[in-house]
């Protein structure tokens, strides 16, 4: 193969840059090229189906094959083996309950703090909170999940919110589902800025220092976490003013718009900082 044949077009170069971190993850976690190809076909079909539905069209194997370049027989097999409903809430029910509890004035004190809620009956304050979020989950099941996650505790006066940030530690699928959502939002934001040139851009800021002293890394990680939590608290307090689910006085105004904000830092660990494998 000549050097000219190795030359990538600008479109191909964009795809190479987007795929590189995915391939690095695959190599690090022992996913093969065959694994990636198999999953890529499935995701191509899923994404094409979502796009057809978004545009108000009718989904069929022929349209999916044209959009993806995948043979119709393979498209049909993918649908037969993957009949899952991919429509999902932007947050888990538990995280939405925590958010509602923190910001809905019906469940906060005059100072804006989450109140201790009664919870032992179907007409309790906690049951009302759960119904504000979802009518498809029993308050007892919601309470069990929040207790399992360590977010609430029972007191003589009622149930109390003890942690206000929902985490996914220990839940591999949920952790990478959120990572997928983060990547989607980032790519969409860059895509919109470059191709559509909106009057007001989306926030996209990156800060990198590459000669930090190693012994300071634990201190820096703790600072990033502390400041990131405070930043998101300010963002939630601000955005909650415009959310129809939380503010009943906004009834009658057009809703349904989504705002997402992600904050993360990455500080590669040295071998000495990593936990020894058991």
Is 64 part of any domain? yes
Place of tokens 């995948």: 70
Handedness of CA 206, 212, 214, 215 (dihedral sign): negative
This prediction has a pTM of 0.69
- Backbone φ, ψ for residue 63 (5° rounding): -65, -40
Handedness of CA 21, 231, 97, 120 (dihedral sign): positive
CA distance 37 to 29: 16
Please tell me the predicted confidence (pLDDT) of residue 164: 64
Question: Is residue 24 domain-shared with residue 75, that is, in the same domain?
Answer: yes
Higher pLDDT, 278 or 208: 208
Place of tokens 């906060």: 108
Q: Which two tokens stand for residue 29?
A: 């976690």
Please answer whether residues 118 and 152 qualify as being in contact, where contact means their C-beta atoms are separated by less than 8 angstroms: no
Is 191 part of any domain? no
Is 193 part of any domain? no
* Residue 130 neighbours by CB distance under 10 Å: 24
80, burial (CB in 10 Å: exposed 0-12, middle 13-18, buried 19+): exposed
Higher pLDDT, 252 or 89: 252
Average pLDDT value for the chain:
87
Question: Is residue 116 domain-shared with residue 144, that is, in the same domain?
Answer: yes
- Backbone φ, ψ for residue 153 (5° rounding): -140, 150
Is 188 part of any domain? no
pLDDT tens across 160-174, in order? 998 766 566 667 887
* Packed helices 33-54 and 72-81: angle between N→C axes, nearest 10 degrees: 90
CA distance 125 to 131: 10
Q: Does the structure show a pLDDT above 60 at 83? A: no
Is 66 part of any domain? yes
Please answer whether residues 101 and 114 qualify as being in contact, where contact means their C-beta atoms are separated by less than 8 angstroms: yes
Place of tokens 């020894």: 276
Question: Is residue 44 domain-shared with residue 72, that is, in the same domain?
Answer: yes
Question: Is residue 277 domain-shared with residue 220, that is, in the same domain?
Answer: yes
Is 242 part of any domain? yes
Please answer whether residues 26 and 46 qualify as being in contact, where contact means their C-beta atoms are separated by less than 8 angstroms: no
Domain that holds residue 36: 8-81
Please answer whether residues 132 and 164 qualify as being in contact, where contact means their C-beta atoms are separated by less than 8 angstroms: no
Question: Is residue 68 domain-shared with residue 99, that is, in the same domain?
Answer: no
pLDDT tens across 5-61, in order? 578 999 999 999 999 999 999 999 999 999 999 999 999 999 999 999 999 999 999
Helices (H), the chain: 3-6, 10-28, 33-54, 61-68, 72-81, 93-103, 125-133, 139-148, 172-195, 217-239
Q: Does the structure show a pLDDT above 60 at 183? A: yes
Is 178 part of any domain? no
CA distance 2 to 133: 60
- Specify the number of domains making up the chain: 3
CA distance 141 to 246: 22
* Residue 56 neighbours by CB distance under 10 Å: 6
Query: Given pLDDT bands bounded at 50, 70 and 90, which one contains residue 90?
Result: very low
Question: Is residue 269 domain-shared with residue 212, that is, in the same domain?
Answer: yes
Question: Is residue 220 domain-shared with residue 277, that is, in the same domain?
Answer: yes
pLDDT tens across 184-230, in order? 999 999 999 988 989 999 999 999 999 999 999 999 999 999 999 99
Question: Is residue 75 domain-shared with residue 97, that is, in the same domain?
Answer: no
Is 190 part of any domain? no
Please answer whether residues 98 and 108 qualify as being in contact, where contact means their C-beta atoms are separated by less than 8 angstroms: no
């Amino acid at each position: 193969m000549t050097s000219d044949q190795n030359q990538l077009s600008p479109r191909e170069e964009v795809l190479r840059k987007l795929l590189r971190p995915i391939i690095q993850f695959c190599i690090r976690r022992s996913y093969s090229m065959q694994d990636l190809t198999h999953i890529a076909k499935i995701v191509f079909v899923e994404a094409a189906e979502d796009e057809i539905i978004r545009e108000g069209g009718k989904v069929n194997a022929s349209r999916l094959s044209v959009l993806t370049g995948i043979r119709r027989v393979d498209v049909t097999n993918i649908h037969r083996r993957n009949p899952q409903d991919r429509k999902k809430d932007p947050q888990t029910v538990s995280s939405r309950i925590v958010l509602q509890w923190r910001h809905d004035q019906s469940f906060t004190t005059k100072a804006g703090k989450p109140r201790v809620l009664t919870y032992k009956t179907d007409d309790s304050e906690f049951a009302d909170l759960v119904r504000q979020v979802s009518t498809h989950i029993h308050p007892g099941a919601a309470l069990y999940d929040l207790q399992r996650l360590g977010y609430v505790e029972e007191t003589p006066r009622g149930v109390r919110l003890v942690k206000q940030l929902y985490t996914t530690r220990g839940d591999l699928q949920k952790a990478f589902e959120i990572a997928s959502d983060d990547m989607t939002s980032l790519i969409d934001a860059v895509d919109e800025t470059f191709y559509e040139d909106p009057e007001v851009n989306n926030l996209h800021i990156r800060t990198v220092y590459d000669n930090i002293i190693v012994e300071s890394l634990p201190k820096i990680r703790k600072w990033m976490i502390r400041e990131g939590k405070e930043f998101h608290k300010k963002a939630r307090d601000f955005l909650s003013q415009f959310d129809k689910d939380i503010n009943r006085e906004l009834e009658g105004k057009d809703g349904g718009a989504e705002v997402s904000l992600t904050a993360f830092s990455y500080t590669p660990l040295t071998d000495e900082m990593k936990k020894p494998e058991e």
